[in-house]
Amino acid sequence: MRALLLRDLMLAIRAGGGFGLGLAFFLIVTVLVPFGVGPQTELLSRIAPGILWIGALLACLLSLDRILALDWEDGSLDLLATAPLPMEGIVTIKALAHWITTGLPLVLAAPVLGVLLSLPIPAYQWVVISLAVGTPALSVIGTFGAALTVGLKRGGLLMSLLVLPLYVPTLIFGAEVARRGAEGLTVQTPLLLLAGISFGVIALLPFASAAVLRINLR
Amino acid sequence: MVLTVRDLAVTRGGLAILEGVSFDLKAGEALVLRGPNGIGKTTLLRSVAGLQPPEGGTVTGAEDQIAYAAHSDGLKAMLSVTENLKFWASVFGLSDIESALVAFDLTELRNRMAGTLSAGQKRRLGLARLMVTGRPIWVLDEPTVSLDAASVALFAEAVRAHLQQGGSALMATHIDLGLDEARVLDLTPFKAAPRTRQMDEAFL
Amino acid sequence: MSLWEYANPVKFIRTTDKVLPWVWTLAGLCLVTGLVWGFFFTPNDFRQGSTVKIIYIHVPSALMAINAWLMMLVASLIWIVRRHHVSALAARAAAPVGAVMTVIALATGAFWGQPMWGTWWAWDPRLTSFLILFLFYLGYMALWEAIENDDTAADLTSILCLVGSVFAILSRYAVNFWNQGLHQGATLSLDKEENISDVFWFPLLVCMAGFVLLFIALVFLRTQTEIRARRTRALLSREGQA
């Protein structure tokens, strides 16, 4: 298991793409928003928490097809399936590797990009905390989507269609934490619900992803 | 007796292709599957390896015993030869890769990125992976594709060594490996009568 | 005689062929009766005027939008557990019907909302949940279309339906939490005092029965079509092999 994680991380670093693309995409989305809605500081600071969440979510989505498709193409997935690792473990490790290479950098970059959107000062900590709690759920749900579409030639668009509705609850609670934090309200309830979703999907969804992957491999 | 296959029936794309395949594979034995293209060698091997549930029949003794090698080698272009092998060794809970490097004449290439290897060199690396799994039953699908004569000899030698250590090998191949101890199983007599899968029968 | 006998495709087609004309007739009767009764023989609401009559399409279609998904969920579970082909195909057949019901509910809701709330669309929890439900239908249908192997498609869509159901419920609560909304609460529960009056209730009940029957008829018909398409593929592949 650890070997698989290390290999995925090493591949992400060596092949470039992994870390860089998601972050660059996050930056571009954040830069484009003021062009779209206008440069008024008060407007931007009001929508900043939501924009950061949506940007992070899209950046996450962008890199999902790398989770399993590459291993599928070169046959590694077949070989891993015959290895003494449970399929549930494989998909969990894959999701973890995706989070470390995509989710974690997004969490760390969010406060920097917050400056561009004049994010209110009290919101910084809550944006970071909500992203840190919520992005693992995005990776795990995304792995499920990637497993569903792994055998398809042009599965990317279909995967977005399948994964985005599944992202709705995470996005709502995550953005709610950030928004309430920005307005100085209490964030306990949405934060607990967000954590609940994250823990729930981490505990349960790998079973569905593994089942789907087994079906796709046969 | 390590591997027993009884009355195996397999399908591909909704069509029954083989049925009633039975054979035993004992320790130290090699079995070569023969038959024309499309007879179902790959499908049979995938069923034996547990990747594809068979339509009927049983495979016993395969659980956690099989090292499977197919057309694609599962190599990562951005990892070196050593790193690729080390990864598969640790997945199977082992660490020694030196003997595999030596057996397939990869020691001089050990620090090259797998992406820069030629097709034949990649194939050798893919086969060397078998040796670091520590699994007794090798299930090989066309193992000699893109290998030159010298490499085929290396491969035959590796298989022979594996058999002598009590391992066994089940492979689909067209060329003669020069393995005298290998039995040959022609799959042509097991070709399924034209019919669709049982699942689809209900619709007719 | 067990229920599972109808899981045989041939038997299913034979039985539904006998039942279908009756279901169509009943559905037509109920819909015509309910709609004519509702549109022409009920008084206007004292606050909402004649726009209230859209309820006879809006509520039944919303009901079926949710129940179609529930039916797909049950059919998917049956496929996963017992592997009856008709079940998987029925789930596939129900999806477009459910999606259309969702669109009808959303559209009639918009027509109703415009005069009532002064807006075609509001990010109200109920409206938003229906929009999300529609997205789930789209994804489900797209996955069916994308996969060539029938059984693989059935397996994958069943699991998607299961996982999707959990997330649909989560979304429902999340959306409720996110925005309290304009939409009135359920006015049709049987135990409430402030229920709508019987004058509106009876024609509505007939309309709902009509929509249920219409749904059943459409799903039967579409399942028959799916079975026949599947049979054609099985025959063709047998021909190709011989």
The answer for residues whose C-beta is within 8 angstroms of residue C169's C-beta and 6 or more apart is none
The closest CB to that of B199, out of C8, C151, C233, belongs to C151
Q: How many residues does this entry show for chain A?
A: 218
Judged by CB atoms closer than 8 Å, whether chains meet at A80 and B71 is answered as no
Contact A180, A190 (CB under 8 A): yes
Name the residue with higher pLDDT: C2 or C131: C131
**Token reading at A79:** 């070989």
Round to whole Å and give the CA distance between C208 and A44.
Answer: 47
Round to whole Å and give the CA distance between B106 and B102.
Answer: 6
Contact C66, C212 (CB under 8 A): no
In a domain, residue C61? The reply is yes
The closest CB to that of A4, out of B46, B79, B91, belongs to B91
Closest by Cα among A13, A81, A49, A87 to A184: A49
Contact C42, C200 (CB under 8 A): yes
Name the residue with higher pLDDT: A96 or A14: A96
**Chain B window 69-98: which residues touch A at a Cβ cutoff of 8 Å?**
69-76, 78-79, 83, 86-88, 90-93
- CATH 3.40.50.300 for the B1-65+172-204 domain, yes or no: yes
Q: What pLDDT does C190 receive? A: 44
The whole-number average pLDDT for the span A92-121 is 90
pLDDT at C226 exceeding the cut of 60: yes
* Number of compact structural domains in chain C: 1
The closest CB to that of B202, out of C9, C150, C235, belongs to C9
**Mean of per-residue pLDDT scores for chain A:** 88
Selection from C139-143, C183-187, C189-193, C232-236 with the highest mean pLDDT: C139-143
Interface partners of chain C (CB pairs < 8 Å, 3 or more) are A, B
Contacting residues of B for A15, CB less than 8 Å apart: 78
Q: What pLDDT does C178 receive? A: 81
Work out the angle at residue C121's Cα, subtended by the Cα atoms of residues C116 and C125, and round it to the nearest 5 degrees: 95
One-letter amino acid of C59: V
Closest by Cα among C95, C25, C26 to C64: C95
Q: What pLDDT does C143 receive? A: 92
Name the residue with higher pLDDT: C100 or B90: C100
Domain coverage including residue C101:
53-179+197-236
In a domain, residue C1? The reply is no
Suggest the residue from C150, C162, C170 to mutate for an interface test with chain A (most A CBs closer than 10 A).
C170
C53–chain B Cβ distance below 8 A for any pair: no
Contact B33, B174 (CB under 8 A): no
Distances (CA, A) of A159 to A63, A96, A146, A215, B145: 11, 19, 7, 17, 35
Alpha-carbon distance B185 to nearest alpha carbon in chain C (angstroms): 24
pTM of the model: 0.88
Q: CA of B113: which chain A residue's CA is closest?
A: A14
Contacting residues of B for C5, CB less than 8 Å apart: none
In a domain, residue C64? The reply is yes
Reduce the DSSP state of residue A49 to 3 states and report it: helix
Contact B9, B16 (CB under 8 A): yes
Q: B170: which strand partners?
A: B31, B139
> Would strands B3-12 and B56-60 be described as parallel, antiparallel, or unpaired?
antiparallel
Round to whole Å and give the CA distance between B3 and B170.
Answer: 10
Q: What pLDDT does C186 receive? A: 54
pLDDT at C71 exceeding the cut of 50: yes
Interface partners of chain A (CB pairs < 8 Å, 3 or more) are B, C
Judged by CB atoms closer than 8 Å, whether chains meet at A82 and B52 is answered as no
CB pairs under 8 A between B and C: 39
Round to whole Å and give the CA distance between B185 and B172.
Answer: 10
Lowest-confidence region among A70-79, A154-163, C44-53: C44-53
pLDDT at C185 exceeding the cut of 80: no
Contact A102, A22 (CB under 8 A): yes
Contacting residues of B for C10, CB less than 8 Å apart: 202-203
Q: What pLDDT does C192 receive? A: 43
Q: CA of A7: which chain B residue's CA is closest?
A: B87
Alpha-carbon distance C242 to nearest alpha carbon in chain B (angstroms): 6
Q: How many residues does this entry show for chain B?
A: 204
The closest CB to that of C227, out of B14, B199, B203, belongs to B203
Contact A147, A213 (CB under 8 A): yes
Q: What pLDDT does B52 receive? A: 85
Name the residue with higher pLDDT: A129 or B202: A129
The whole-number average pLDDT for the span C61-70 is 92
Measured N-to-C along each axis, helices C85-117 and C9-40 cross at an angle, to the nearest 10 degrees, of 10
The closest CB to that of B196, out of C10, C227, C237, belongs to C237
Pure H helices in B92-174: 98-103, 119-131, 149-164
Domain boundaries, chain A: 2-217
In a domain, residue C143? The reply is yes
pLDDT at C181 exceeding the cut of 60: no
Query: How does pLDDT run across A130-181, given as a tens digit for each residue?
Result: 999 999 999 999 999 999 998 887 778 899 999 999 999 999 999 989 988 8
Judged by CB atoms closer than 8 Å, whether chains meet at C233 and B204 is answered as no
Alpha-carbon distance A167 to nearest alpha carbon in chain C (angstroms): 9
C210–chain B Cβ distance below 8 A for any pair: no
Suggest the residue from B43, B76, B133 to mutate for an interface test with chain A (most A CBs closer than 10 A).
B76
The closest CB to that of C160, out of A155, A162, A172, belongs to A162
User: What is the H or E stretch that residue B141 is in?
Assistant: strand B137-141
Contacting residues of B for A80, CB less than 8 Å apart: 74, 91
Alpha-carbon distance C227 to nearest alpha carbon in chain B (angstroms): 7
Round to whole Å and give the CA distance between B65 and B138.
Answer: 8
Q: CA of C151: which chain A residue's CA is closest?
A: A215
Distances (CA, A) of C200 to A4, A24, A70, C33, C63: 64, 58, 59, 13, 17
Name the residue with higher pLDDT: C67 or A154: C67
Round to whole Å and give the CA distance between C70 and C162.
Answer: 10
In a domain, residue C216? The reply is yes
Round to whole Å and give the CA distance between B159 and B81.
Answer: 21
Work out the percent of chain C whose per-residue pLDDT is above 90: 38
At B56, give phi and psi (nearest 5°). Answer: -160, 165
Work out the percent of chain C whose per-residue pLDDT is above 70: 88
CB pairs under 8 A between A and B: 70
The whole-number average pLDDT for the span A177-202 is 89
Query: How does pLDDT run across C140-161, given as a tens digit for each residue?
Result: 999 998 888 888 899 999 999 9
In three-state form (DSSP H/G/I as H, E/B as E, the rest C), the secondary structure along chain C is CCHHHHHCHHHHHHHHHHHHHHHHHHHHHHHHHHHHHHHHCCCCECCCEHHHHHHHHHHHHHHHHHHHHHHHHHHHHHHHHHCCHHHHHHHHHHHHHHHHHHHHHHHHHHHHHHHHHCCCCCCCHHHHHHHHHHHHHHHHHHHHHHCCCHHHHHHHHHHHHHHHHHHHHHHHHHHHHHCCCCCCCCCCCCCCCCCCCHHHHHHHHHHHHHHHHHHHHHHHHHHHHHHHHHHHHHHHHHHHHC
pLDDT at C61 exceeding the cut of 80: yes
Measured N-to-C along each axis, helices A87-98 and A65-73 cross at an angle, to the nearest 10 degrees, of 130
Alpha-carbon distance B148 to nearest alpha carbon in chain A (angstroms): 22
Round to whole Å and give the CA distance between A167 and A203.
Answer: 17
Task: Split chain B (204 residues) into runs of 10 and give each run's mean pLDDT.
Answer: 82 79 84 84 87 84 82 82 86 82 82 84 86 86 83 85 86 77 80 64 65
In a domain, residue C189? The reply is no
* DSSP characters over A110-139: HHHHHHHTT--TTHHHHHHHHHHHHHHHHH
The closest CB to that of A148, out of C136, C138, C143, belongs to C143
Q: What pLDDT does C30 receive? A: 92
Judged by CB atoms closer than 8 Å, whether chains meet at B70 and A78 is answered as yes
Contacting residues of B for A72, CB less than 8 Å apart: none
Q: CA of C132: which chain A residue's CA is closest?
A: A165
Name the residue with higher pLDDT: B96 or A52: A52
B19–chain A Cβ distance below 8 A for any pair: no
Q: How many CB atoms neighbour CB C20 within 10 A?
A: 15
One-letter amino acid of B14: G
